Amino acid sequence: MKRSLLVLTFSAIVTSLALAAPSATLVVEHLKNPVYLTAPENSNDYLYILEKEGVIKIYDRKSKELLKTPFLDIKNKIKIKMNEQGLLGMAFSPSFSSDKRFYLYYTDNKGDTKVVRYTANSKTKTDKSSEEVLLTQGQDFKNHNGGWVDFGPDGMLYIGFGDGGKANDTKQRAQDLTTFLGKLLRIDVSGPKSYSIPKDNPFHGSTKARPEILSYGLRNPWRCAWNGQTLIIADVGQNAWEEVNVVDYNDLFSANFGWPQLEGTHKTKNSKAKKKNPGKRIKPVYEYKHDTKSTGGFSITGGAVYNGSVKELQGRYVFADYVKPHIWSAQITQGKLTDLKHHKADFSQDGKEIKQVASFATDPQGEMYIISHQGKIYQITD
């Protein structure tokens, strides 16, 4: 009898530990408008933090302090006239340990979007003069700048552009194949040229479309993430709906996410516009309405599938709303988002919610971080 009780007690303890609610531990504070965090593959020494104004700071994971000298400072290249502008995205080359290359996405002094490559001197220093401009996209408005850049499972560089503003994409740019605006791009940066067009890109060799384009019909993809051979895209809505798209690798080619004719699954006032491309219509796996409920909000912040040490979250997609202090997780299986859980209370600090979640980021060990525009970064812990 005693042995049975002991087994039951031990089993209850293990179950309790396994189901312990996640929490958030403050890692660094006093930052200026942080928007992202990343690190080279297989590294465990530094985290690289992007401040929107154009500074990349280095967090030493051993000393748990910021290094005094930034990895790169390009404030002179960036002029922010609106909240959505600035240094927005970064990706290290998969071969960074040997080629020392990394890629940035920012809006420049003219308000145009640039995707550039730098070559670092070391893990802690980069020469400004090493900048090589790969792509430039003119923008006559200051919002919907996208900002995601990352390498895919095929080794290609993927880039997410917003529709370029202003509102409702009245110029139908997201469906216009002659501009990068409102598109997902795919380029090859592995060769001697600045970049080349992968031969299997859907518009390779086309004279009527930009060959860099892979998918289109996006409004403002604010954070995307790979989960194996699947890409998860969070697209910020206009007046009513926020959406999450989950797309298998092969379905990304010529995929049409529907904007500006559709906001989520709902028709807009542009639904009868002329600029419509057939493509493969991709419907969101999840959408939420603009409201103040715990399942609503006004501006989605995409996250990633969690693969860290907190068992409660393992295999779950973590995302948030920027305007309302909501952080959720959900299962994504068979093209559906299910089992939505609200984590606002779990991640609260001294009874206060984490606000203005600008991004989530994952380190090479799989641990996830919450980046708050209010100058703080938290690690998800148990």
274 — pLDDT class (breaks 50, 70, 90): low
**pLDDT score for 275:** 62
Other Cβ atoms within 10 Å of 135 Cβ, number: 18
CA angle 98, 102, 107 (to 5 degrees): 170
Structural domains for the chain: 20-381 (2.120.10.30)
22-41 pLDDT, tens per residue?
999 999 999 999 999 999 99
At 156 the three-state DSSP class reads coil
DSSP annotation of 33 reads S
Residue with tokens 């005693």: 2
Bigger pLDDT: 344 vs 215: 215
CA quadruple 136, 121, 86, 44: dihedral sign: positive
**pLDDT score for 219:** 98
DSSP annotation of 282 reads P
The mean per-residue pLDDT over the stretch 313-322 comes to 98
Amino acid at 366: G
DSSP string, 182-212: TEEEEEB-SSSSS-B--TTSTTTT-SSS-TT
pTM, two decimals, is: 0.94
- Among residues 139, 45, 128, 145, the alpha carbon closest in space to that of 89 is found at 145
- CB contact at 8 A, 182 and 141: no
**pLDDT score for 276:** 65
The mean per-residue pLDDT over the stretch 256-284 comes to 87
78-137 pLDDT, tens per residue?
989 888 999 999 999 999 999 999 999 999 999 999 999 999 999 999 999 999 999 999
**pLDDT score for 15:** 46
- CB contact at 8 A, 352 and 345: no
- CB contact at 8 A, 40 and 362: no
